[in-house]
Amino acid sequence: MAQITLDKLAHSYLPNPKSDADFALKQIDYVWEDGGAYALLGPSGCGKTTLLNIISGLLLPSKGNVLFDTADVTHLSPEQRNIAQVFQFPVIYDTMTVEQNLAFPLINRGVEKHEVKKRVSEMLEILDLTDKARRRARGLSADEKQKISLGRGLVRYDVNAILFDEPLTVIDPHMKWQLRTQLKELHEQFNHTMIYVTHDQTEALTFADKVVVMYEGEVVQIGTPEQLFDEPEHTFVGYFIGSPGMNILPGSVSGNTVNMADHSFSLDRHYEPISGTTEIGIRPEFIHVADAASAGANGMPLHVKAVENIGRHKIVRGSVNGHNVDAVIQEDANVPAEAFAVIDTARLNVYSNSHLVRGSR
Amino acid sequence: MDKPLNNKAWFFVLPVFFLVAISAIIPLMTVVNYSFQDTFGNNQFFWVGTEWYTDVLSSSRFHDALLRNLMFSGIILAIEIPLGIAIALSMPRKGIWVPVCLILMALPLLIPWNVVGTIWQVFGRADIGLLGHTLAELGVDYNYATNATDAWITIVIMDVWHWTSLVVLLCYSGLVAIPEAYYQAARIDGASKWKVFRYIQLPKMQRVLLIAVLLRFMDSFMIYTEPFVLTGGGPGNSTTFLSIDLVKMAIGQFDLGPAAAMSIIYFLIILLLCWVFYTLMTNFGVDAPEKEVD
């Protein structure tokens, strides 16, 4: 197990990258703590698989270095780095049995026979595959196959990290839940450093202690699920995390007064003058829908377009002075005929050129 | 669900049935018909029962030709399949050399059988052929017209040159269909090149290899044109394969009955061997859902 350091890492698939746009992965400096459970979250094509392949050694970065603890492994091959990777589609050795599949990486590394036997039977136990040990791997279901590919990594006690590249893509929904829970348990049991690539926020937020959000080749925020929810550092994070995403409205800020959608609010914090495009972000969870009588000073007339019942909540889709605004209300709450959107000003975020600006109290 | 039952669908099958009847079933049945009768010309036939079959099956001429066929197909498969796999493995998977290699590989396949025979006939001649003359200059006594071994070597090389490409193209198609993740996983598992071949590439090529083996077996077992053009079955009877013998019998000697019996036996042998190959190769590495393997 190891702490993984990314030192001024960047990658371009072009031989001679010139501008910033040529980089699939823009410069990143980060330390992945030993034993941490991380998720790399972002839309398709944001560079998360590129980053993962650089860490695993399948890809040589154009710039910068990868360090495992203090050793520079940038130029080492995946087997020299001693990592494990689970791919989007289950990779198994068709002609081998489940047992043989699990033993394969050990035999290739010259581990002794009885030791191989011991570890394989342990791993079968952990993965709940003991009764299928002697079956050919090709006949198994997708989730069992994915367990085998995970097992081939875990069977080596000393792996430095286990990397997952959207491992649940082809798994049936009800098995997804089970497999994710099992992953979590395995992490607690073995304490391997785990890096999990996904574009599914639920997967990322439930699996990881820390989520790395990527957007267009750039890491836009690294934080706990709570931080991503409360204080998205980039409008993309606000929009991408949460369902529905954060409301982002054009506005302006001066001192402790915020203007948005032709309304102004006073805040409990103070902002320095902001240059660049200013936007105000507010999560739908922090907008209340009220009637005229209880709206108060912070209420903005809300033109309701639709109300969606999603079970425990209702989503109110509407607009304030022509700007789209979503709000989340309780399942049993009613939307008044003359509705007002009331903003919790303490939970409002200010963005300049898409990046978060913090105020001072 | 209630479906109205009618037999209109048969009309869709009719054209194909008609074509197959004319091109295969009727000729085959005619041959079956001949194989049980004798004729002295004049369109007069009389029933001889299984006499021709007994004759053919007990004749050493048939045994020898059959043995030559089996040997030839054996040699062809033993050379072309491993060679085809090896070439396919060494071909580039991406880049500008891919189309170049593919076209080079496809070229021999575009040449008709008899032209291949003629090319090699001229190529191997000691007086004017490049190969034959060069060998003669080097002091090698090579003559496919008089030496049985030389004739065999020439025909085998000819076939390998002509048809290995087919195996290569089939294997290549199997190889490029393997997702990159398999190779990446193998690298992470520390697998050697040989193990990658043995446990990833070979199993993934199994289906196309089955087709390659079947096609090459059937084709080589039916070999006719190449020895016909090159040696005419000689020297002696050394390259007289079943097909050549069959033509000699049917058209040369006009022994319709024995020739017909022989064709039927020939056909059944090919059918049987193809079935054996198919069963062996599809069952290799596959087991019933609950069956355990050691």
Query: A21, A341, A23, A47: which is closest to A220 by C-alpha?
Result: A47
Domains, chain A, with CATH or none:
4-238 (3.40.50.300), 247-357 (2.40.50.140)
> What is the mean pLDDT of the segment spanning B27-39?
84
Using the predicted structure, report yes or no on whether residue B150 has a pLDDT greater than 90: no
* pLDDT tens sequence for chain A (361 residues): 678 888 888 888 888 777 777 888 888 888 888 888 899 888 888 888 888 888 888 888 888 888 888 888 888 888 888 888 888 888 889 888 888 999 998 888 888 889 898 889 888 888 888 888 888 888 888 888 888 888 888 888 788 888 888 888 888 888 888 888 888 888 888 888 888 898 888 888 888 888 999 888 888 888 898 888 888 888 888 888 888 889 988 888 888 888 887 888 888 888 888 888 888 899 988 888 888 777 777 788 888 888 888 888 889 998 888 888 898 888 888 888 888 888 888 888 889 888 888 888 7
Q: Which tokens in the block code for residue A144?
A: 């069992």
Q: Taking 60 as the threshold, does the pLDDT of residue B286 lie above it?
A: no
Q: Does B183 touch chain A if contact means CB atoms closer than 8 Å?
A: no
A108, B182: Cβ pair inside 8 Å?
no
Above 80 in pLDDT, residue B76? yes
Q: Residue B182: closest CA among chain A residues belongs to which residue?
A: A91
Q: Given a cut of 70, is residue B227 above it in pLDDT?
A: yes
pLDDT at position A255: 83
Q: For B205, which residue in chain A has the nearest alpha carbon?
A: A94
Name every residue whose Cβ is closer than 8 Å to that of residue A136 and which is 6 or more positions away in sequence: A94, A95, A96, A97, B285, B286, B287, B293
Tell me which of A231-245, A247-261, B19-33, B41-55 is least confident: B41-55
In chain B the domains, ranked by start, together with CATH numbers, are 22-58+242-282 (no CATH), 71-240 (1.10.3720.10)
Residues 271-290 of B with CB under 8 A from A: 285-287, 289
What's residue B172's pLDDT? 93
Q: Do B190 and A108 touch (CB under 8 A)?
A: yes
| pLDDT range class, residue B284, cuts 50, 70, 90 | low
Q: Which tens digits make up the pLDDT trace of A181-237? A: 888 888 888 888 888 898 888 888 888 888 999 888 888 888 898 888 888 888 888
Pairing of strands A247-260, A278-282: antiparallel
Give the whole-angstrom CA distance, residue B269 versus residue B258.
16
pLDDT at B229 over 90: no
Chain B CB within 8 Å of residue A104 CB: yes
Are B168 and B84 contacting, i.e. CB atoms less than 8 angstroms apart? Answer: yes
Is some CB atom of chain B closer than 8 A to the CB atom of A315? no
Is the pTM value of this prediction over 0.90? Answer: no
Higher pLDDT, B42 or A146: A146
Residues of B in contact with A158 (CB under 8 A): none
B chain contacts of residue A94, beta-carbon cutoff 8 Å: 199, 203-204, 285
Q: Does A94 touch chain B (CB under 8 A)?
A: yes
Read off the pLDDT of residues A56-76 as tens digits, 9 standing for 90 and up. 888 888 888 888 888 888 888
Q: Is some CB atom of chain A closer than 8 A to the CB atom of B177?
A: no
User: Please, what's the largest Cα pairwise distance for chain B?
Assistant: 82
A91 vs B182: CB contact, 8 Å cut-off?
A: yes
Q: How would you class B151 by CB atoms within 10 Å of its CB: exposed for 0-12, middle for 13-18, buried for 19 or more?
A: buried
Share of chain B above pLDDT 90, in %: 16
Average pLDDT for residues B91-120, to the nearest whole number? 87
Residue type, B275: W
> Residues of A with CB below 8 A from B174's CB?
none
Search chain A and give the residue with CA nearest B294. Answer: A134
Query: What pLDDT shows up at residue B291?
Result: 39
Do B181 and A87 count as a contact with CB atoms less than 8 A apart? Answer: yes
Cβ of B187 and A136 within 8 Å? no
pLDDT tops 80 at residue B254: no
Q: Which residue of A has its CA nearest to B287?
A: A136
**Residue B77: left (phi > 0), alpha (psi -120 to 50), or beta?**
alpha
Are A60 and A78 in contact by the 8 Å Cβ rule? The answer is no
Which of A244, A245, A225 lies closest to A236, judged by CA? A245
Q: Do A83 and B188 touch (CB under 8 A)?
A: yes
What are the pLDDT digits (tens) for B126-145?
778 888 888 888 877 777 77
Residue of A87, A88, A159, A195 to mutate when probing chain B, most B C-beta within 10 A: A87
Test A93 with B199 for CB contact under 8 angstroms.
Answer: yes
Confidence of residue B88 (pLDDT cuts 50, 70, 90): very high
Test A58 with B179 for CB contact under 8 angstroms.
no
Q: Look at residue B79 and tell me whether its pLDDT is greater than 80.
A: yes
- B293 contacts A136? CB cut-off 8 A: yes
